[in-house]
A = this chain, B = another copy of it.
Amino acid sequence: MTDNQDLGITESKEYNTGEWYAEVVQKAGLANYAPEGMSGFIVTRPRGYALWEAVQSYLDEKFKATEVQNAYFPLFIPESYLEREKDIVEGFDPEVAWVTHGGHNELEERLAVRPTSESIIAPYMSQWVRSHRDLPLRVNQWASVVRWEATDTKPFFRTKEFLWQEGHTAHADKEDAWEETMLRLDQYESAYEDLLAIPVLRGQKPDHDKFPGADTTTTVEALMPDGKSVQGATSHHLGTSFAEAFDITYSDEDEEDRNAHTTSWGFSWRSIGALIMTHSDDQGLVLPPTVAPTQVVVVPIWQEENQEKVLDYAGSVADDLENAGIRVELDDRDERNPGFKFNEHELNGVPVRLEIGPNEVDDEEVTVVHRPDGESTVEARAEIAETVESHFDEVYAKLYAAAEENVEENVRDAFARSEILGTIGQHGGYVRAPWCGEEACETEIKDQISAEIVMVPFPDDEEKQLDLDDHDECAICGESSEETAYFAKSY
């Protein structure tokens, strides 16, 4: 692709966000659209898949350090299994891809391509759990799932097939299950804040928007620069509904039979969409060094008379970085000029660039340039690996600070219907409002401006709550307010 790669991003992030996003995804080589007949699917290219591998590696280590074991369950689920939990069948019925034929034969029972795996995992939990000593039971799988939603494709954000992990656990009682639900939410928050440089807001979904069958759905929400919220990941406290439907019971210490309490929790490649959308700009992809496949590129700048010494010096710098475990690329291509290389590596989201010309060689220095702001400093050649690592930290901090500022400036309060509509209409972002708890009030807002309640803070999270003593009426219907709702437009 080097020959005819078009390096210019032509769309504007600010004025034409959707088209800009699609252009960055394609030109930075993250993904392509699937062929005709498969709208809604994408092909994830190596630079995009490497981002998912970084997420996998981060979360997988956290899971394993907290007693989760990986497993693999079948891709298909018999229709009769999907139907055993009534909320699941109602929740996913219109979105399932069905396998009806194997080879030349029609199947006796059609098989769903898994939209999520509770219905195939729960029956095995039922087999594996006998005694309280078998609890807690925790399994996770990294897999792809299919949900046949008929909407416009947006790579990583909205695709019919997507990659994710789904964790499934069983516990002796409600408290343990709730603790598990929150532990996984903590880990998801950490993946966003400590790996992807994206601050998130934690809370729970309104009852009418929970995962089918769940007692509580908890969520981390990320605010995109265009003012829309992304549901970053969800962790569900399932109560005993799946245990009852699939007979997950255990004998307690007094040999009494009891229902287990289960949880499930999932983190998908939507996080990659949020990553691209949050940090990138009109020059292309921007990535934090934590996940960038190439963290630093060394670009030697030479004329014929100093070519050898510049290339030798640049090569030794790159070697030092590689030996320190840094993901470095030495771009010594002869057929491209430095300006072209700078543009290409900016498009591809390389966080730090080292420029090395004859002056740097003579002075035993390197010039260090940050993506995205172009800040440039001259640093000593000695201890270059430590120096570059500290620039990685600086770049990470800049990206995080910009995203954090976006959230902090875009949470506004409203106490009347017109205020909610006006504020979201004008500014986007989150609007906090007192809410009675009825879906009908959300529907009124949704019908007018497609904003919804993306999150309700946890009861003990006082910082995020409005003072309902002062604001005891639902902003929409005027009935008694029960909680603080965060309204936003949503991906």
Residues of A within 8 A of B (CB): 1-4, 32, 34-38, 41-46, 49-50, 52-53, 69-76, 78, 80-81, 93-104, 108-111, 113, 120, 123-124, 127-128, 130-131, 133-134, 139, 143-144, 146, 148, 150, 160-161, 163
Contacts and interface: CB of A to CB of B under 8 A. Distances in A.
B71 A38 contact: no
Number of copies: 2
Question: Which 8 pairs between the two chains have the least Cβ-Cβ distance?
Answer: A46-B69, A102-B148, A44-B72, A37-B78, A98-B101, A41-B74, A3-B131, A94-B103
Contacts of A37: 78, 80, 108-109, 111
A120 B36 CA distance: 12
B71 A44 contact: yes
From A38, A50, A128, A133, name the one whose CB has the most chain B CB atoms within 10 angstroms.
Answer: A38
Contacts of A3: 130-131, 133-134
A74 B43 contact: yes
Contact of A130 (B4, B73, B104): B4
B123 A35 contact: yes
A31 B109 CA distance: 24
B70 A50 contact: yes
Given A43-B74, A50-B70, 14 more contacts: A1-B130, A32-B124, A35-B81, A37-B78, A37-B109, A43-B120, A46-B139, A49-B70, A53-B70, A75-B113, A93-B103, A96-B102, A97-B99, A98-B101
A97 B98 CA distance: 10
A388 to B, nearest CB: 22
27 contacts: A1-B130, A2-B133, A3-B131, A32-B124, A36-B78, A38-B78, A41-B76, A42-B74, A43-B71, A43-B73, A44-B72, A45-B71, A46-B71, A49-B70, A49-B71, A50-B69, A53-B70, A74-B161, A75-B75, A75-B161, A98-B100, A98-B101, A98-B102, A99-B100, A99-B113, A103-B148, A143-B144
A45 B121 CA distance: 11
Q: Is the interface of A mostly helix, strand, loop or mixed?
A: mixed
Nearest to A96: B103
> Which of A46, A124, A144 has the most chain B CB atoms inside 10 A of its CB?
A46
A146 B113 CA distance: 12
Contacts of A124: 32, 43
